[in-house]
Amino acid sequence: MGMDAYRFSISWTRIFPNGTGHINQAGVDYYNRLIDALLAKGIEPYVTLYHWDLPQALEDKYSGWLDPQVIKDFATYADACFQNFGDRVKHWITFNEPHTFSIQGYDVGLEAPGRCSIPLFLFCRAGNSATEPYMVAHNVILSHGTAADIYRRKYKSKQRGSVGASFDVIWYESATNSTADVIATKIAQDFQLGWFLDPFMFGDYPSSMRSRVGSRLPTFSKSESALIKGSLDFVGINHYTTFYGSNDTADIIGHLLNDSLADSGAITLPFKDGKPIGDRANSIWLYIVPEGMRKLMNYIKKKYGNPLVIITENGMDDPNSPFISLKDALKDTKRIKYHHDYLTNLLASIKEDGCNVKGYFAWSLLDNWEWAAGYTSRFGLYFVDYKDKLKRYPKDSVQWFTNFLNSTQTRQ
């Protein structure tokens, strides 16, 4: 296809089966083969250290991300990866979407470890949705800062790589021009991106979170604040869609949920007055709003001083339906238009607005398991036949990307 980079995740338990202690050499050998194979083909590896797969041993031992001990164990794991792979890996992503697993795992309980305390959710057997998401996020932020500090002290001078993190960001568009909705939309973004990026850029959580969450929001000591501030060499952004934001005047969410989602005082939805914000992909949350990409890039530029940004995920999914023939499934014109329109807006943010964006990853190369959606969702540029030994077939978007990349390289 002409792509020059590939993003993949290392599984913590492949390196440390028990989360810490003895290194599993077979796991190290596996990733060495993968990294060497990529480099042999002229493909730069971008490596994510944590994509929601905490070793079960650490969950059993001390409840994982809820305990500060996880900071030390993650640091040991990150150090081992830097030591074993850093001579060839020059781009590290410590965490993928910490906001997602903090909320989904510890607020609404839909993902591992399935903790929550929302009365409406009968499947929740343990947890505290009003406090645990903030505790988890705090430990994640300190884990990144600790790992980045290790890299800078022990490896950067010789390996000359960079360490960042990837954040999930829905762009929020105010539902109306009312002051209440505009402010609510801004606060909603503080509770999404600002929750994590503000500490890394400014050394503390957004003031809106401090005032609204109060004592339930952990605090950073002076040394911790110094550790995390400036610890991102680049900002990874996973962006797919745009929602409307409005003020929760009647405290609807607050009455339904006693959790971090209610703390923002905002309602974020992909429709207004019964009309969707854009054409929908397969996922119930993924509405196609290309101009959101440009607006988000400008927001980051303005609020955070134009840091180096890499789009680490962007894409859309089709349904995995038994009633769609292979021939028709490969004709993904909607995906082609999606990437064309989002990339066009991304280019405008760079060329016309001066946003400091230096990379783009499509999600994803192959159809795969999409967490809660399982195999019902197909994000891949390549079709994977789950019924026939996982055979792979290029969708039309593969040819489109190939032409696009070849023409870009020719112009350069």
Is 352 part of the annotated catalytic residue set?
A: no
Q: How many CA atoms within 13 Å lie on the side-chain side of 188?
A: 25
Phi, psi of 174 (to 5 degrees): -60, 130
Beta strands in 126-206 (DSSP E): 162-168, 171-174
Classify the C-alpha dihedral 102-168-191-185 as positive or negative.
negative
Task: Indicate the DSSP class of residue 216.
Answer: G
For strands 266-269 and 242-247, give the pairing: antiparallel
Query: Active-site residue among 132, 173, 313, 370?
Result: 313
Query: Active-site residue among 44, 97, 132, 291?
Result: 97
Is 97 part of the annotated catalytic residue set?
A: yes
DSSP string, 209-242: HHHHHGGGS----HHHHHHHTT--SSEEEE---E
Contact status, residue 237 vs residue 311, Cβ threshold 8 Å: yes
Contact status, residue 59 vs residue 70, Cβ threshold 8 Å: no
Catalytic residue set = 97, 313
